[in-house]
Amino acid sequence: MFEKVLHCFMGSGSTGQAAINLIGNFIGLELDNKLRKLIVQSYFGRELSVYLIQVF
């Protein structure tokens, strides 16, 4: 069984949602600010560690 899921290019974050629901651990990367905001909003209400890093 997997311990963590790593997903580069998260898009809307659906893979992250599934990983959290199934195994509870997920690391996702997204460069697009609009998509990052969407992802954080969709994950709001869960006990998560969310780190947003601005890349120039």
Of 17, 8, 13, nearest to 35 by C-alpha is 13
Confidence bin at 1 (pLDDT 50/70/90): low
pLDDT at residue number 16: 83
Query: CB within 8 A of 33, min separation 6: which ones?
Result: none
Which H, E and C letters describe 18-37, residue by residue? HHHHHCCCEEEECCCHHHHH
pLDDT in tens, 17-42: 888 888 878 888 888 888 877 877 77
Tokens 């997204």 sit on residue: 30
pTM, two decimal places: 0.63
Q: Is 13 left (phi over 0), alpha (psi -120 to 50) or beta?
A: left
Which CATH architecture is the domain 1-56 placed in? 3-Layer(aba) Sandwich (3.40)
